[in-house]
Amino acid sequence: MTEQLRLMAVHAHPDDESSKGAATMAKYVSEGVDVLVVTCTGGERGSILNPKLQGDAYIEEHIHEVRAREMAEAREILGVKQEWLGFVDSGLPEGDPLPPLPEGCFALQDVEEAAERLVRSIRAFRPHVVTTYDENGGYPHPDHIMTHRITMAAFDAAGDADRYPDAGEPWQPLKLYYNQGFNRPRTLALHEAMLERGLESPYGEWLKRWEEFQRPERTLTTYVPCAEFFEVRDKALIAHATQIDPDGGWFKVPMELQKEVWPTEEYELAKSLVETSLPEDDLFAGIRDN
């Protein structure tokens, strides 16, 4: 193509872009693809998950600003552009019964109204490919599920001149993918490789929960080779210092083992307006030659 390829990744919170598809984005940036991360909320209600930072009064009081600075650092590491949609984090409700969601939060917005902000972003950036979460949000966080809903609505509406007529010139993305990096085949392969080498696997409990909940397997359609960017991915993730313990389970699998056993990031093709042959190894398959 003579036109520059463009990829938009729609995420719920700052840090999601670094834990889901980050190596893929860094790979495409290195190839000259224009990549934009759209972050729906500011992560204002996110817990401080790094034990080394828990109890820090400044961080607790200024969590919104801290997470914005973390996002800026991760953005630079990945080499992507990034913009905020400006919705307020819904938090992750806990308890039985679950408490109501906070008034005015992202997950309580009207889908059609909230989708307009994303339609504006799509029409301005003009992506060929969009990535987001599946209908379960990847995991059932209300903001992840809402991210799925507005992305599906915006993908269909962005190219329709009759919808959101004040949101910019129509633009129709050609493919939509769900991030499926946390899939059972990958987890099992890494788990077994760790045990074979006499190492303690961080995935034992994950696999038990998969068995307990009997979640159906997702269809993995697209395997993007990006092992050479795993270090970049991890560096971007560690930049989200409030959310990630650098000594935690995320980083227990040796890098060389990851590259050898599972050198790809996986996606599920949800919508395509171009012909493609499955499985794919490129999010732009069917687009590059059109």
Question: Where is the binding site, in residues?
Answer: 13, 16, 144
Query: Can you count the helices (H) and strands (E) in the chain?
Result: 10, 7
Q: What is the DSSP letter of 95?
A: S
The DSSP secondary structure of 32-54, one letter per residue, reads T-EEEEEEEE--TT-----TTTT
Helices 204-213, 184-196: inter-axial angle, 10-degree rounding = 140
Nearest Cα neighbor of 284 from 182, 178, 177 is 177
Please tell me whether residue 266 adopts helix, strand or coil conformation.
strand
Tokens representing residue 201 in the block: 């696997």
Annotated binding-site residue numbers for Zn(2+): 13, 16, 144
Residues 6+ positions from 2 with CB-CB distance below 8 Å: none
What is the Cα–Cα distance from 150 to 139, expressed in whole angstroms? 17
Residues 6+ positions from 219 with CB-CB distance below 8 Å: 268
Q: Is the preceding omega at residue 97 within 30 degrees of 0, hence cis?
A: yes
* Other C-beta atoms lying within 10 Å of the C-beta of residue 5: 18
Instruction: Identify the burial level of 215 via C-beta atoms within 10 angstroms of its C-beta, where 0-12 means exposed, 13-18 middle and 19 or more buried.
Output: exposed
